[in-house]
Structure 1
């Protein structure tokens, strides 16, 4: 019998008959959040619950993926009678989903890949974020965390008792209830955001938008990476790589100068009495030359930089805000972001950093199993995902409970703007198709494009971009003061017809995609240039940073995320 200490009578498991059936997720949530904390205290049960829940979610994702129809079948007439058996469904299903069908499985590489594109969509519309904030967990120093866990075991501890604990004793208490430890971090983070960062005091400016993700350290504790957009934030102009480039001899002098100073810094970094002026005087280096050398080394790639003036003893201290540090009571890093290019390169690197290895494994598995067919390939990928991921107890809690692994101020909506024959559409469930007449062609679920075509006459004049940003799938107008953000498929201008079609689809009002968007000569290009003056303001609204954004995204797609760019967001 599994878990005999948790189920001593072998009853009331998930498969137990109940008057009112409950889902697997709700069952496990009730168990680990129960006032009887024996389930929450069992790490083995947490890992079991997390595995069972994710296996169910993966199976659901696989079922949905098999209903995603290849684009070319949408321009042909297909009836319900033609696909009323499983083999026909498999014939239509997409075979190029790789591991992306796991997108709705929290914590999977595909889940965070979607986060990457959400962030790129925010950067494209809102511009570069102003601050990048990292918040670490100090669960060994947060006395209230251990006190709360102890209270669940009927032990009341004073601050002094917690302070006098050894590292091993604190670790033991945290392992006693990882559920409370994880929930306590999330509760602290939500209060920190609502009362301080987004509060009336505005310690780092008036925050307009934010997006964060939770990542887990090697020791298993969570920490938070966050992008923050500040209202009316100052911008640093783009440095031109051709301006004030020193000759090779001067570059050599600068390199030797900075090397000498860095070598000395290692000897004096713990001496608070040593100043930068004294250090430069020791090497007989003029401060103006040192600043030129430092500016050159930081901006030689053509990107702007922020140089912080500090004493030698402070050179290895993270950038921080005293106000945020006092409130958070743990290590944090606050960096000013210089431009869109640096922001995109960093975002790509930090989002893919922890999941890159597993993502590469899943890509390799999907490639090797592709000849067996899409279903077999996705089943193989599912098994590999469920058995090749290291998860800490607190991460298992985050993935099992509805604790947010990502959170933001806005929703990002993805629109398929490619040609109709290249798009993917979702077939209706098989039980619905079985009830249709054999000659019925209404086989696909309605998406945003179909809902836009059926919009009421009173909003005839609005474009697809405005419709999607201000309306939800439930046909209810978005009540947020800020519209949702859009993310469209990245189409190469070197394939002009697809590129011009996507712009017309987004910004020119239409009812029939073919009749309203094609020019008389059968091209989208001529129609685009004829209509562009009428919608250029909407295009500029949704794509204000398009040139710099496109350059960075093209480099990202060609070369992949730069290694460890996350360590030098603001040079």
Structure 2
């Protein structure tokens, strides 16, 4: 696709909020009415006991999202996406989008100011790290949403809400990288470093510059050092964590592809190894309940293959999909003799 269409414009990742989405939990057998009251333990039990419903729901949700948002609203001319299971548990979706009138980054002239400005203006339309909070709220380290979590809102509440307020709630609840933790994003080389390179420096205007390898690098305007890059429309409609990145070079695409082609699956740890790892992460002031909770989450997360992924395959749902069809031809030797 890249050879024929040129490099895509955007890369996106959609996470799932399975423990939050009320439309999903209305489908489970134990739900007695259309009104779903959030009970975290009940929601988790629903997911554990009904992985086939969870799997099919995510697939159908994304199909509608693809047709109504990616195609009709973002006007993507082509797309490619794949499913992946985080820690072999809950699914998320990676994809590339080809957008109309997007310049070919292979022909980008870094010395041409008009060319740079044109590309920057295009990315500014689709990507943001600007927090819509007021200046007073921005000084607060911890944002307190008007409701417990905007992902818990059903479609009726969303349709009656004020769009800007709803978007602000979503941004500050699901898009902010609030704290780096050793069992989530911190990776140890010589020192502990966040694998997402948070927190990010603020800047009043977006920029398109050359990095240390002489490759174009786009950074949107930023007023919040903890805010993840995203597309506002995708976030407001998907209603879970969204990552959306500008693609500025073929090298960035190749790095992504090679990362997932060469990615190995980690074998499950034994229960005693999981417990030893969890004990090393807890602090002296942490409660026993917290340690037990992390241990149980480790057992669920570190399976070789999750029930949701198994159901995805049993339901014969596609792992990869795109707007183009491919035909394999064997041209290496003569198969048919005349």
Deviations 1:366-402 (A, max 9, x none): xxxxxxxxxxxxxxxxxxxxxxx81101000011112
Runs of 4+ aligned residues of structure 1 deviating over 3 Å after TM superposition are 235-241, 355-358, 414-418
CA drift of 1:273 comes to 3.9
Do structure 1's residue 134 and structure 2's residue 13 form an aligned pair?
A: yes
CA drift of 1:123 comes to 1.2
Do structure 1's residue 197 and structure 2's residue 70 form an aligned pair?
A: yes
**Structure 1 residues 349 and 417, CA gap change in structure 2 (3 angstroms):** same
Conserved? CA contact 1:181–1:394, under 8 Å: yes
Q: 1:350 aligns with which of 260, 265, 274?
A: 260
CA drift of 1:404 comes to 1.4
1:224: which partner in 2? 93
**Structure 1 residues 295 and 403, CA gap change in structure 2 (3 angstroms):** closer
2:293: which partner in 1? none
Q: 1:406 aligns with which of 311, 320, 326?
A: 320
Of structures 1 and 2, the one scoring higher in RCO (CA 8 A, sep 6+) is 2
Conserved? CA contact 1:239–1:303, under 8 Å: no
Conserved? CA contact 1:212–1:226, under 8 Å: yes
The number of equivalent residue pairs is: 214
**Structure 1 residues 145 and 351, CA gap change in structure 2 (3 angstroms):** farther
- In the alignment, the residues of structure 1 paired with residue 17 and residue 208 of structure 2 have an alpha-carbon distance, to the nearest angstrom, of 35
**Structure 1 residues 141 and 219, CA gap change in structure 2 (3 angstroms):** farther
Deviations 1:429-471 (A, max 9, x none): xxxxxxxxxxxxxxx5x6xxx8xxx9xxxxxxxxxxxxxxxxx
Conserved? CA contact 1:132–1:336, under 8 Å: yes
1:272: which partner in 2? 138
1:186: which partner in 2? 59
- In the alignment, the residues of structure 2 paired with residue 273 and residue 235 of structure 1 have an alpha-carbon distance, to the nearest angstrom, of 40
Do structure 1's residue 208 and structure 2's residue 80 form an aligned pair?
A: no
Gaps of 5+ in 2: 112-135, 141-202, 268-302
- In the alignment, the residues of structure 1 paired with residue 265 and residue 327 of structure 2 have an alpha-carbon distance, to the nearest angstrom, of 25
Q: TM-score with structure 1 length normalisation?
A: 0.34
Do structure 1's residue 331 and structure 2's residue 241 form an aligned pair?
A: yes
**Structure 1 residues 217 and 357, CA gap change in structure 2 (3 angstroms):** closer
Please give the root-mean-square deviation of Cα atoms over the aligned residues, in Å: 3.0
Q: 2:217 aligns with which of 295, 298, 305?
A: 305
Gaps of 5+ in 1: 1-121, 242-269, 275-289, 359-388, 426-443, 455-571
Conserved? CA contact 1:238–1:339, under 8 Å: no
Residues 141-160 of structure 1 aligned to structure 2 (within 5 Å): 141-149=20-28, 152-153=29-30, 155-159=32-36
Do structure 1's residue 177 and structure 2's residue 31 form an aligned pair?
A: no
**Structure 1 residues 238 and 350, CA gap change in structure 2 (3 angstroms):** farther
Rg (Cα) greater in structure? 1
Deviations 1:320-366 (A, max 9, x none): 1111111101111111111222212222213443x4668xxxxxxxx
Conserved? CA contact 2:208–2:218, under 8 Å: no
Conserved? CA contact 2:14–2:243, under 8 Å: yes
Of Structure 1 and Structure 2, the greater helix share is in: 1
